[in-house]
Amino acid sequence: MAKQYFGTDGIRGRVGEGVMTPEFVLKLAWATGRVLCNDASNLILIGKDTRISGYMLESLVEAGLTAAGVNCRLLGPMPTPAIAYLTRTLRASAGIVISASHNPYYDNGLKIFSADGSKLSDQVELEIESLLSGPMQTVAPHQLGKVKRIEDAAGRYLEFCKASIAPNIRLHGLKIVIDCAHGATYHIAPDVFRELGAEVVETASSPNGININADCGATSPAALQLAVQAESADLGIAIDGDGDRLIMVDAEGALVDGDQLLYLLATAAKEKGDACQAVVGTVMSNLGLEQALGEQDITLHRAAVGDRHVLELMQKHSCILGAEASGHIICLDQTTTGDAIIAALQVLEILINRQQGLAQAVSAMQKYPQVLINVPSDSVFELSASSEIQAVLKAAERALADQGRILLRASGTEPLIRVMVEGGDLSLVQRMAEELAAEVASICCSKVT
């Protein structure tokens, strides 16, 4: 059975419309409580990012859960991976994050973690959806849930992050610029690195409810690149609005993406003698990553886009490392989900142990030119079911021959069709991507961005 509401990373949309109306969110929270609170703890944690709509949605989630008889603990603004961690340590039945991740402020959503801090399975999401078609039934008054606030949630997570690296590691002498995307890590990330000894320059750490991800963070790191150079910093750290994506910047202002960071983490793990024979990327992972890992006898498994798919393949192949080029980096030896702060700390530990700068540490991986064009879609469009799209794709693959690869996919979080072309010749890749995007747009969409 196909899911109607859940996408690749929870449920999200424009606030006030579709799945983000007060009525729907209230019932979704109630259904989530009914399905997930079937154990002795009867407890669900609620966290959020810094969007202005978080105030409204937090109240609705609280109301829906207590109507289902579930006790709640409010965490306030907290990174998504922090909710995963606290769900485990507080022995809760589940954790709910009110966030739309890297999307603009006018979107919001719900991400849900199970008791072990992992994303929900398709089966559980279908169980929740099945209750949405029926009536919402409130438990008897004496069975209603109760609500408390956890005042020290940020401090608990901060200490967990610091403990993820060896106790002898000090960041003294490092100057780091940290871009918090005006998001959920604004009151945590700078303190983590500062308490470990680094000189920290904060940027995009003053949320006002509508500036989250606005020309900042992991999805818009241009300002960070300039800041690193202006401050003569050793490196920069860009985090997205909910704290699960990481992009870094070297001392010269060059971007270091999730593929490059995965290469660094994997090769360092092998140097330490860890059994790192394989890692997981996605269909979007750069061909240069696959080749560089192969030279170190490390296999790259490719998952569908989305950190939940990466995690599923990691578990299947018993891998401790997985990542997306966009910055979701999962270190299963440290935590259960993508965590920007944890991943950045692992990178810094490697740089200190090797006595290298970031640029030198990733220099052995040479990225192939890769062009990605987003084609807005007017509606849900099934690429595999369109004979026109498939004909266009096959023609483009024949034209590119063995000089690269092409990927067409529908975004799981936005109404977009992503056109990716990769190969050794940048001019050819650029031309092929533009031509293919134009043809896709003429078939199913209104414009190209």
146 token code pair: 């109760």
Residues designated as active site: 101
Do 265 and 350 contact (CB within 8 A), yes or no?
A: yes
Do 282 and 307 contact (CB within 8 A), yes or no?
A: no
Q: How far apart are CA 340 and CA 363, in angstroms?
A: 22
153 token code pair: 């949630």
User: Could you tell me which of 196, 177, 223, 211 has the C-alpha nearest to residue 342?
Assistant: 196
User: Could you tell me which of 163, 10, 131, 23 has the C-alpha nearest to residue 80?
Assistant: 10
Residue with tokens 């801090």: 117
User: Could you tell me which of 93, 20, 9 has the C-alpha nearest to residue 60?
Assistant: 20
Do 65 and 25 contact (CB within 8 A), yes or no?
A: no
139 token code pair: 């438990």
User: Could you tell me which of 143, 334, 309, 333 has the C-alpha nearest to residue 323?
Assistant: 309
Q: What count of other Cβ atoms lies within 10 Å of the Cβ of residue 374?
A: 16
**Residue 255: partners with Cβ closer than 8 Å, 6 or more residues away:** 221, 225, 247, 248, 249
350 token code pair: 């490697």
Q: How far apart are CA 373 and CA 365, in angstroms?
A: 24
Q: How far apart are CA 80 and CA 97, in angstroms?
A: 6
